Structure 1
Amino acid sequence: MSRKEEGMYWTMVGELMYQKILNLFEAIEKLPVVSSIRNGLVMTIPIVLIGSFILICKNIPIEEYQSFLSSFGNGVILNIMNYIYDATFGMLAVYIMLAISSVYARDNIELYGSKYGIPLTAVTCFFIFTGVSGNNLKLTSFGALGVFTGIVSAIIPVLFYQYGKNISQKCYYKFSSVGVDSNINKAISEIFPILFIIFPCASINAFVVQGLGYSSFQDFFLQIANLLFSQEGRSFLGGICWVFSTTFLWFLGVHGSNVLEGVAQHLFPSTTVLNVPVISMGGIPHEILTKEFFNIYILMGGCGTSTCLLLAVFFFSKRKSSRGIAKIAAVPILFNVSEILIFGLPIVFNPILFIPFIGVPIIGYCIAYFFVSIGFVPVIMHDIHWTMPIFFSGYFATESYMGAVLQGIILLVGTFIYRPFIRVYDAEKIRIAKNYLQDLIDTLQKNEQINKNIILTQLQDQRGRLAKALLVELKEALKEKKLKLFYQPQHNHSQQCVGAEALLRWENEFLGMIYPPLMIKLAEEAGFLKDLEKFVVVRAVHDMEFINFNRKEPLKSCINVSAITIQDTTFEKFLDEVSKKKSVQKGSICLEITEQTALCCDEDTEAVFARIRKRGFQLAIDDFSMGHTSLKYLQVNQFDMVKLDGTLVKKIMENPRAKEIVSSIIALSHTLGFTVLAEYVETENQRVELEKVGCLNYQGYLYSPAIEFEEFIRYIEKRPEKAGSIK
């Protein structure tokens, strides 16, 4: 095997392994338990942000400000802040436990029939595990120290509730009563599933308390965690183990810092405990690994050294959604609150960002430990709060500018480590988004085929999320006039170009050209389809004015307008304004009415159509066939053109019935005085067959696909103007 072949082989092996890892993480991420943990933690972000904001306000390091808080109104402001903090961060474990269990119950309500059983079970398990029945219950168990217990309490019913439910359903008739309120019966049906779970939990807690001698399961976890980390102790390797463990838990969607808070307090006490007493006695502080060391140098911006991640996204990501999340997360990260970025980007179960998310904090830890150990940067001398922003924290904690300089070095190194992974993540997200886009298009097309209306933005999966994201970008594109009009030429039987259909196109920065019916559907769902169609009219009128300026025979532009829009009185006023501002030549603009089933056949509609035609605009019916709906509109309204249903044109060569229907429409056009145009004409044989039955106007790939305006101008310039129009 040559070196080239060997290189290709290992490249192929690497790509295969990479894809397998992606598939593994994707499969794990789709697990209901994992999804519930991630989404549940997202739901607690408001509580975390409120608590963080209060904490920031409480700990602003200005002596006059702190004095004001303590003295004003006998400390009333400080008391209010404490109340809010205790009700948010002080009860964080409870909120997380309720959020995770509630999310799972909500997403699986069809499976369980109730969304209350699982949260009730989780609450009961949590109180059992925290030792609520004993004398050793501590309120701190409800806060950050109890987060791990809260997550476990939420996961247990998620995993086992269905087993209890299945057993309960077999015996349901024994517990339910005919004629009793259905809510009573539902409540009774939850008894056994709840008992099925809480009895083993109570048994486990009893074993931990009476058999092992701990005060509760919560206390047992903290002691075991302390034991695992105490083997390395407060050493360099112990610090690495701590950084890895907390960051890895964050990657799994678990608040690592809170889960292992008890371990941190035991293994890495604060500077107040380790260094301040030495300083007060006139000694030289020497303890490097204090709690503040990790807060200042490793948790800059939050877990994963999030400030580095934030800067990497700002400078190196090309995706608007990623930069948008970064903008929202910027202020919280300034105060070391990273939840929005971690769950919004997301980092959780993201295989591409796993390496830098774990690696950057460890590398930052090594850099900080090295510079402090050699004396380049002083050890931490003051106990500062974890919400203090970067650079300020480094300066105040060390009483030296070198603390801030060290933070800057770690920030720079970490940002550039994240850089290549952010680029790869962008590319992978675009690939995945294109797959979801195709799924979204397939869903729309399938429902169109069976005439079923579907609300794409209400889909509760990745398709729905993509639809909402596209909707936001479409609004922005319309506002900034980034949408384009393409023109598909129309020819008569003499091969002269006599007009074109104006077709709206949107080229997304990352997803490319968006399927036009999807674009229309999203605008319709969001209620700005009229604005979209008005944009098309204004642009098409402007383009035709430019094209027809020196032409003897004006080209005609056909513009699609929905039936709902054209019947709106405001649209009629809009057309009046357009005709006054622009020199609309009579017959140069033809409004094609789509979705005829929504068109009313009454005197008011006839009057609207008459006024529109009086202003110089022509009217056409799109996708005309010999069905009852199509004929009904010809009976009561005067249209200038009908465009044949594409299925008739495509089948005219092999289906005699299709040919007969087209022939009948042509005959009807002579009687009622309208022009017939065939779309989807792709071959010369089709055109000849259409001409034989009297259809003399064509549009389709035989002549040209839809092309940009500049190309359309070149298209008509190559074809000298002759007398002719759509007739």
Structure 2
Amino acid sequence: YQAFMAAHFGPDWPLLGNILKDGTFSVMSLIMVFSLAHHLTLQFNGAQAVLRANPVIAGLVAFASFFCLLQPEDGALPLRWLGVAGLFVAILVGILSTRLFLFLFSFRKLHLHLPGGASDIAIPQAFNALVPGMLTVVVFAACGTLMLSETGMSLHEAVYRLLRWPFDSIGEGLGRGMMYILSLHGLWFAGVHGSNVLDPITHDIYGAAILANEAAAAAGMPLPYVMTKTFMDTFVFMGGAGTGISLALALAFWGKTQASRRIGLIALVPGVFNINEVLLFGLPIVLNPLMLIPFLVTPLLLSAISYVSVVTGLVPGTSVETQWTTPILLNGYLSTGSLRGTLLQIVNIGIGMFVYVPFVLLANKIRVKQIRSAFRRLLELSCAPAGSSRHILDHDGDVGSLARSLLVDLEYDYKHGRGLYLEFQPQIASATGRVKGVEALLRWNHVSYGSIPAPITIALAEDSGLIGAIGLWVFDTACAVRRDWLDRGIEDLTMSVNVSALQLRRGFPQKLLESLHAHGLPPSLVSLEVTESAALGADTPESRILTHLYESGLLLAIDDFGMGHSSLKYLKQFPVSAVKIDGAISREVVTNPICQDIVASITRLCRARRMTSVAEFVEDDAQIAVLRRLGCDVFQGYRYSRPLLAGDCLRFILETNSRVASAEAGPQPVGPHTAPAGTEGSDGPDGTRRGEA
């Protein structure tokens, strides 16, 4: 392979890769020191009302403190400790130097105040940090000096020897290998790159072992070592730490949620090259107590199996050094010179997969419960009244994660024209039993979770700003359906479409009128139901927009009327054609006298103002009798019909109106149409209708 590359790309073909390595892994400790200091300073500033430290200055102080602990070699800095070999010390220095700097910075007497200010706002910050920064660097310089004078070695060398001491004390064999594997995976589980932190051990012990094996094989002598770096990479760390390839396969075959299966499939691609950050941080494994046992047990078990296989002669030992990114199965053959090495890998992968399977199944059950709980909480937040600062995207934990992941899917589905559709719920005239109107309701069928409650969909759209685009799509789609029904002879019927206050922006009326014109639809056949009316103040642009739409011929209705956030004062701010009595009132109208009084007051007001009163959540005959006695004009609810697809709703309208027309002459109220089997219950599958635009 190397000869082929050199022949086609010249002798300098590895130069690009080496430069990339020098700019990343070779300076990893420097990156870590600065990044930790920057992050810790931001945390410090977040807890302060006035006192703020400059995170860049803190990063530079930590940077200098790190260099103060290095021992020069031949007048130059030792490059070894700048990379992954010095990562452990870099983490310690990054934390300790920043904590010390911020502690000193909190004493205002150490600040160098500039009277009269400065032309550049950064200058006072720099002067305030000057003394604390100098003191911090001096402390670490003193520590570095003390280490060199007393021990003759730098802190990095001392830490390295301390890390190596347990491994040297055990000696070569399975026991030391087990300790190494356990230490590496323990660091990984804590979120620390175990391979990088233990790189000195890996390089000096197991890297030296494979070189010794190569030399012995070339001389025709028995291999002196069983456990080498190549042995670990080939038989233990297949797919990365924790034998990631086995976990990826377990997720791909036994993962219950689409997300877990997808993570498993995605992880297979880098896993073939022994890279598994996708699993470590994406599943995650890091700080995931459920995965701790298989994450530790799998590599320990496979190392024991592989060790016995080599010692007993079933599989040749590793005698050729291969890079750790060499693809699985290929590296088994190359490192041992035998297909038995590849066969052992296949056996190990299968064993590791079945170790993970019970934990994946248990994780499935836990994850399903977490998702259900997160959905319940998300629905509660989404149904909160307008102006309650719900902002579901800003929440932490499972609720916020679920909301943000759903938003990504919602935006994708909207842009690609999938998942979003409309259902239509009939509205029945109390006096005649005819279908007087329908309400267009937005529905979203998620590819993984199925039907998403409408309030969650609307809340996501509102909080993200998608409500404008999705709202226009809903209006245009509803107009297209109403045009089709008009062509089929259904003339006296109003199509109601919900409108959020967030949609009432400049240009909104023109877009609605353009949609009506495009479908050749009279404006009087469409009603806009205004939700979140708490956002509509007196003489606001939103109120003027609604007035303009009313003057253009559209009907206006106030949704969820009578529960405070839709108060009577809004009736005078823009013309209203109908009010929809809040479901919380209509649900209790049979048993609660106060609700009866509220409904009676609303219906009297509607008659006086020539507005239509609509009762929502009508679910049984007792409700119908009371609401009709109290003067409600229109009923909407599951007792008549659940929300239906356009074709089913059209058939319901034709059948209902035909039955009324064939009844005996005279104003005889027609009983409610029996809802289809399985549709009894509340006015929506989630028990609420807020914002089902």
Tell me if TM exceeds 0.5: yes
* CA distance in 2: counterparts of 1:158 and 1:706, whole angstroms: 62
Is the Cα contact below 8 Å between 2:34 and 2:94 reproduced in 1? yes
Shift, 1:81, TM fit = 3.3
The SS at the match of 2:579 is strand
Is the Cα contact below 8 Å between 1:666 and 1:695 reproduced in 2? no
Q: Residue type matched to 1:641 in 2?
A: A
Q: Percent identity?
A: 26
Shift, 1:628, TM fit = 3.9
Aligned equivalent of 2:571, options 619, 623, 630: 630
Shift, 1:138, TM fit = 1.2
* Structure 1 match to 2:251: 313
* Structure 2 match to 1:696: 633
The SS at the match of 1:676 is strand
Distance 1:508 1:415, change over 3 A: same
For these two proteins, the number of residue pairs brought into alignment is 640
* Structure 1 match to 2:531: 594
The SS at the match of 1:283 is coil
Shift, 1:430, TM fit = 3.5
* Structure 2 match to 1:416: 354
Is the Cα contact below 8 Å between 1:653 and 1:686 reproduced in 2? no
Aligned equivalent of 1:156, options 91, 96, 99: 96
Is the Cα contact below 8 Å between 1:496 and 1:722 reproduced in 2? yes
* Structure 1 match to 2:687: none
* CA distance in 2: counterparts of 1:274 and 1:559, whole angstroms: 78
* CA distance in 2: counterparts of 1:655 and 1:316, whole angstroms: 52
The SS at the match of 1:432 is helix
Distance 1:116 1:455, change over 3 A: farther
Aligned equivalent of 1:88, options 6, 20, 24: 24
Is the Cα contact below 8 Å between 2:250 and 2:264 reproduced in 1? no
Is the Cα contact below 8 Å between 2:191 and 2:287 reproduced in 1? yes
Question: Mean Cα displacement is larger for which, 191-200 or 179-188?
Answer: 191-200
Deviation track 1:505-563 (CA, whole Å, cap 9, x = no partner) reads 44657767644333112123444334534554577678889999999897755332346
* Structure 2 match to 1:504: 442
Matched, 1:190 2:129: yes
- Give the TM-score taking structure 2 as reference length: 0.79
Distance 1:348 1:193, change over 3 A: farther
Taking the TM superposition and a 5 Å limit, the aligned residue runs for 1:268-667 are 268-270=206-208, 273-326=211-264, 328-443=266-381, 448=385, 451=387, 455-458=391-394, 463-478=399-414, 479=416, 481-483=418-420, 485=422, 488-494=425-431, 496=433, 498=435, 499-506=437-444, 514-533=452-471, 536=474, 557-562=495-500, 567-578=508-519, 587=525, 590-595=527-532, 600=541, 620-624=557-561, 627-634=568-575, 640-644=577-581, 653-654=593-594, 658=598, 661-667=601-607
Shift, 1:69, TM fit = 4.4
* CA distance in 2: counterparts of 1:579 and 1:434, whole angstroms: 44
How big is the alpha-carbon RMSD for the aligned residues of Structure 1 and Structure 2? 4.1
* CA distance in 2: counterparts of 1:334 and 1:630, whole angstroms: 66
Is the Cα contact below 8 Å between 2:189 and 2:292 reproduced in 1? yes
The SS at the match of 2:207 is coil
Q: Residue type matched to 2:32 in 1?
A: I
* Structure 2 match to 1:176: 113
Is the Cα contact below 8 Å between 2:251 and 2:263 reproduced in 1? no
The SS at the match of 1:592 is strand
Taking the TM superposition and a 5 Å limit, the aligned residue runs for 1:1-150 are 61-71=1-11, 75=12, 77-111=13-47, 113-114=52-53, 115-131=55-71, 137-150=77-90
* CA distance in 1: counterparts of 2:101 and 2:374, whole angstroms: 32
Aligned equivalent of 1:679, options 607, 616, 635: 616
The SS at the match of 1:275 is helix
Shift, 1:292, TM fit = 0.9
Q: Residue type matched to 1:321 in 2?
A: A
The SS at the match of 1:190 is helix
Shift, 1:462, TM fit = 5.3
* CA distance in 1: counterparts of 2:448 and 2:542, whole angstroms: 43
The SS at the match of 1:342 is helix
Distance 1:236 1:602, change over 3 A: closer
Is the Cα contact below 8 Å between 1:666 and 1:693 reproduced in 2? no
Q: Residue type matched to 2:194 in 1?
A: G
Distance 1:605 1:655, change over 3 A: closer
Shift, 1:382, TM fit = 1.4
Taking the TM superposition and a 5 Å limit, the aligned residue runs for 1:235-274 are 235-270=173-208, 273-274=211-212
Distance 1:502 1:145, change over 3 A: same
* CA distance in 1: counterparts of 2:493 and 2:656, whole angstroms: 15
Distance 1:356 1:539, change over 3 A: farther
* Structure 1 match to 2:676: none
Q: Residue type matched to 1:679 in 2?
A: E
Distance 1:187 1:549, change over 3 A: same
The SS at the match of 1:219 is helix
Question: Mean Cα displacement is larger for which, 357-366 or 272-281?
Answer: 272-281
* CA distance in 2: counterparts of 1:67 and 1:152, whole angstroms: 46
Question: Mean Cα displacement is larger for which, 104-113 or 369-378?
Answer: 104-113
- Give the TM-score taking structure 1 as reference length: 0.76
Deviation track 1:473-530 (CA, whole Å, cap 9, x = no partner) reads 2234544633465555533335836254343344657767644333112123444334
Distance 1:111 1:626, change over 3 A: closer
User: Could you list the runs of 5+ residues in structure 2 that have no partner in the other structure?
Assistant: 662-668, 672-693
Shift, 1:319, TM fit = 2.9
Is the Cα contact below 8 Å between 2:603 and 2:613 reproduced in 1? no
Distance 1:104 1:681, change over 3 A: farther
* CA distance in 2: counterparts of 1:225 and 1:199, whole angstroms: 27
Distance 1:578 1:231, change over 3 A: farther
* CA distance in 2: counterparts of 1:713 and 1:602, whole angstroms: 34
* CA distance in 2: counterparts of 1:199 and 1:109, whole angstroms: 24
Is the Cα contact below 8 Å between 1:301 and 1:338 reproduced in 2? yes
Q: Residue type matched to 2:161 in 1?
A: Q
Relative to its length, the structure with more helix (as a share) is 1
The SS at the match of 1:268 is helix
Q: Residue type matched to 1:349 in 2?
A: L
Is the Cα contact below 8 Å between 1:297 and 1:368 reproduced in 2? yes
* Structure 2 match to 1:209: 148
Distance 1:586 1:184, change over 3 A: closer
Is the Cα contact below 8 Å between 1:101 and 1:158 reproduced in 2? yes
Shift, 1:570, TM fit = 3.7
Distance 1:95 1:207, change over 3 A: same
Deviation track 1:201-228 (CA, whole Å, cap 9, x = no partner) reads 4444444333333x21110111111111
Shift, 1:266, TM fit = 2.4
Q: Residue type matched to 2:69 in 1?
A: F
Question: Mean Cα displacement is larger for which, 248-257 or 592-601?
Answer: 592-601
Deviation track 1:702-726 (CA, whole Å, cap 9, x = no partner) reads x368556599899887998314899
* Structure 2 match to 1:33: none
User: Could you list the runs of 5+ residues in structure 1 that have no partner in the other structure?
Assistant: 1-60
